[in-house]
Structure 1
Amino acid sequence: MTDEKIAGRGGYTVLTWGCQMNEDDSAQMALMLEGQGYTRAERVEDSAVILLNTCSVRAKPERKVYSKLGELRELKVANPDLVIGVCGCMAQKEAPEIRRRAPYVDLVVGTGQIDRIPALVDRVRDERMPVIATDLPDRKDRHDKPTPVRMMGGTEPKLKTFVSISYGCDKFCTFCIVPLTRGKERSRPADEIVMEVERLASLGTQQITLLGQTVNSYGKFLDEPCSFAHLLERLNAIEGIQRIRYTSPYPKDFNDDVIEAIATLPKVCEQVHMPVQVGDDELLKRMHRGYTLDQYRTIVNKLRAAAPDVALTTDLMLGFPGETHEQFENTMDFVRETRFDSAFMFAYSPREGTKAAVYEDQIPEAVKMERLSALIALQNEITEEINRSQVGNIYEVLVERRSPKDPNKWTGLNRQGKTINFPAGRDLVGQLVQVRAVKAHLWGFTGELLPAREERGIALTMAAA
């Protein structure tokens, strides 16, 4: 395609629901469209192409997508040349239903066909016919995406960004739709990931977050074996990268070498988000999670012994089919025992195509909400207690921007992934600074920036140690 043909092709909008992997997919979609001459639209109504990147993990995001499609119908009526596409997990799972409920959708693209989006958009515009592309790659395809666009050309520098290292999942938990929407587990070659991160570092990226459905099982089925811990070692050596995060590790694959990497590699942050789901062994077995609470406890104890400053967060799901009041109380007791720094908490939502969706002992919605409310109250209390106990601590903060609620303050995350807002008289974006926590909140801390001389004193003390 000539430069003349792709110049000035109009604006695009990418709307995103769901996980960090969806956010990374959306970033790739945007870069691919820009490579074909599209520009980011300032308003949705000014777009020539609108892509909805969707999630199917729970019912609520799907409802939001259909609601948004209803809003976009008026734009399509006013501009028949507008290309509307639905992408991602929901597109993979229910392409025919999307076309039935919203026949004005031009493009339905599953998770394994993201790299074809520019060509598929051109096909829609040329042929004036809807296109559905939902084939999933097999294991032999290794990974379902081309070399990321940001490795092959210019992209705007970002202080932090996501890097997908694997796709798909082989766990088949009875509540989870991901193996059906993203296919079999596939890892990207380590050399390719290293090249991508080196390029990101050269553009000014200081923090990367590695993504995978079960990120710590990375390396399986690769022609050139590489464990997750070894990948962390290689990325830790890249100049310019200051911080490495990752999500989400799976308890069954949390090996000692990963714990050692967290404890010894200076760029790997002391933050672990490890989903437990419930605090009852019988429910874990019914969920097909593949581990027991004692095995989970062992990992937690090893982590906290090797890295005492680690912040541990988790996913908790209440209302799984058959959950008794006693099993709910077991989860509450496990939360009290483990004392997570925070948790993502939600009620079980049946997903068509999963085993649990057809279990006959579904929990009434009112019971789910009552239990969830009690869990949220408990976890919030624990989070606030932990944060109050950390007031007075000095944290390294990577400054990201001005605080959106107070332009006189700057905001960033400490290594444990907690937000710290603090006043400063100068622009500190992109800098690593030392901040003392002076007030605790549920969301993090208000802090005070240490004077430069005090920061140097801390650095010298750490060096001497």
Structure 2
Amino acid sequence: SFCIIPKIRGRFRSRSPESIIAEAEHFAQRGVKEFNLISQDTTMYGVDLKMKDGLVQLLKSLSRIDGLEWLRLFYCYPTFINSELIEYIASEEKVCKYVDVPLQHTHDFMLKRMKRQETEKEVRKMIDELRTKVPGIALRTTFITGFPGETDEHFKHLIEFVREIEFDHMGVFAYSHEEGTTAYDYEDLVPGEIAVARREELMSLQQEICRNKNGARVGEVLPVLIEGSDPGEEYLVTGRLATQAPEIDGQVIIEESDVESGQIVPMLITGATDYDLVARRAEETVEKVST
């Protein structure tokens, strides 16, 4: 009810599997190691093509491409995250143990108002299944604060949910009143300054959660995809874990410069900040750590 994109772009249209596979092969032949899948709702892939478990079938095809090492899923709405998808994420080592699940809110009244199909109980069940079947999975989500009708009680519920679940990565947006959306006609608007204040409070909580999670990783040996020198720091080399998406999540700051871009290298995590990690090349190989 809050998003104008469906009205602008129309109904879901899945690209053919062949075109996606050809694109992935093109990049793999040029040394690309990571291929990200993103759409308006990635879990609906193939529904319009009458494919059964279309996203799983696509992932299976992409997993067979030589050279690709990481396949990452963005914008997987909860409604179509099923056991088949979860089990494939768990079993295929090329699929990053990472899922971006936009929840937008957690209070049932707000979910219904946003015209979301799932309830809080169903969201909790999905999160529990993901974390049980895919140990170490990183969960990213997004929330909206100040949606029309959101009360202090609704926001407190959201805060407590985030504190309990402890997402690995999170984005928060203050509600934007977009003409053409269902929500545009709602009259019980939340003042903009309150929406922004709630956003800041929620992000402050998430910052604390990320700080604690990152601190707990110090001492671990993990595979890091080397991205190269930081544009703003000539001698600073950065990379990412499989649990860190490009640009929107944190990164790994590498304490040495003699590492080749595009390679996945075992790194010892030596330090942590709120959102980033610090690492150096490990003497041992990565064996028991899930990517």
Q: Secondary structure at the match of 1:382?
A: helix
Cα distance, 1:226 vs structure 2: 5.5
Partner of 2:67: 240
Deviation track 1:306-338 (CA, whole Å, cap 9, x = no partner) reads 121111111011001011110010000110111
> 1:12-31 alignment to 2 at 5 Å?
none
**Alignment pair present for 1:446 and 2:250:** no
Q: Which residue type is aligned with residue 57 of structure 2?
A: H
Q: State how many pairs are aligned.
A: 284
Q: Secondary structure at the match of 1:233?
A: helix
Partner of 2:38: 211
Aligned partner (choices 404, 414, 419) of residue 241 of structure 2: 414
Partner of 1:431: 263
Using the alignment, how far apart are the partners of 1:191 and 1:327 within structure 2? 45
Partner of 1:198: 25
Deviation track 1:170-209 (CA, whole Å, cap 9, x = no partner) reads xxxx111111111100111112221221122112221111
Q: Which residue type is aligned with residue 277 of structure 2?
A: F
Partner of 2:187: 360
Deviation track 1:111-158 (CA, whole Å, cap 9, x = no partner) reads xxxxxxxxxxxxxxxxxxxxxxxxxxxxxxxxxxxxxxxxxxxxxxxx
Gaps of 5+ in 1: 1-173
Using the alignment, how far apart are the partners of 1:212 and 1:427 within structure 2? 33
Using the alignment, how far apart are the partners of 1:314 and 1:197 within structure 2? 26
For the 8 Å contact 1:270–1:416, the answer to whether it is kept is yes
Partner of 1:290: 117
Cα distance, 1:402 vs structure 2: 1.2
Deviation track 1:82-126 (CA, whole Å, cap 9, x = no partner) reads xxxxxxxxxxxxxxxxxxxxxxxxxxxxxxxxxxxxxxxxxxxxx
Q: Which residue type is aligned with residue 449 of structure 1?
A: R
Partner of 2:228: 401
**Alignment pair present for 1:388 and 2:220:** no
Using the alignment, how far apart are the partners of 1:223 and 1:215 within structure 2? 15
Partner of 1:178: 5
Cα distance, 1:245 vs structure 2: 0.8
Structure with larger RCO (C-alpha < 8 A, sep 6+): 2
| 1:180–1:425 Cα change, 3 Å | closer
Cα distance, 1:240 vs structure 2: 0.9
Cα distance, 1:425 vs structure 2: 4.2
| 1:226–1:295 Cα change, 3 Å | closer
Using the alignment, how far apart are the partners of 2:11 and 2:139 within structure 1? 28
- Normalised by the length of structure 1, the TM-score is 0.59
**Alignment pair present for 1:377 and 2:204:** yes
Using the alignment, how far apart are the partners of 2:275 and 2:138 within structure 1? 14
Partner of 2:247: none
Return the index of the structure with the highest Cα Rg: 1
Aligned partner (choices 114, 119, 141) of residue 314 of structure 1: 141
Using the alignment, how far apart are the partners of 2:32 and 2:199 within structure 1? 38
Cα distance, 1:225 vs structure 2: 5.1
**Alignment pair present for 1:330 and 2:157:** yes
For the 8 Å contact 1:420–1:444, the answer to whether it is kept is yes
Of stretches 198-207 and 380-389 in structure 1, the one that deviates more from structure 2 is 198-207
Cα distance, 1:449 vs structure 2: 1.2
Using the alignment, how far apart are the partners of 1:339 and 1:251 within structure 2? 17
> 1:23-422 alignment to 2 at 5 Å?
174-222=1-49, 227-417=54-244, 418-422=250-254
Cα distance, 1:255 vs structure 2: 0.8
Using the alignment, how far apart are the partners of 2:200 and 2:239 within structure 1? 29
Using the alignment, how far apart are the partners of 1:353 and 1:296 within structure 2? 28
Q: Which residue type is aligned with residue 227 of structure 2?
A: E
Cα distance, 1:367 vs structure 2: 1.4
For the 8 Å contact 2:32–2:262, the answer to whether it is kept is no
For the 8 Å contact 1:436–1:447, the answer to whether it is kept is yes
The structure whose residues are more often helix, as a share, is 1
Q: Which residue type is aligned with residue 191 of structure 1?
A: E
For the 8 Å contact 2:239–2:254, the answer to whether it is kept is no
Cα distance, 1:342 vs structure 2: 1.9
Gaps of 5+ in 2: 245-249
Q: Which residue type is aligned with residue 254 of structure 1?
A: I
Using the alignment, how far apart are the partners of 1:249 and 1:425 within structure 2? 36
For the 8 Å contact 1:395–1:415, the answer to whether it is kept is no
For the 8 Å contact 2:207–2:275, the answer to whether it is kept is no
Cα distance, 1:224 vs structure 2: 5.7
- Aligned alpha-carbon RMSD (Å): 1.6
Q: Secondary structure at the match of 2:129?
A: helix
Using the alignment, how far apart are the partners of 2:31 and 2:218 within structure 1? 32
For the 8 Å contact 1:408–1:423, the answer to whether it is kept is no
Q: Secondary structure at the match of 1:193?
A: helix
Using the alignment, how far apart are the partners of 1:409 and 1:449 within structure 2? 14
Using the alignment, how far apart are the partners of 1:241 and 1:384 within structure 2? 31
Q: Secondary structure at the match of 1:434?
A: strand
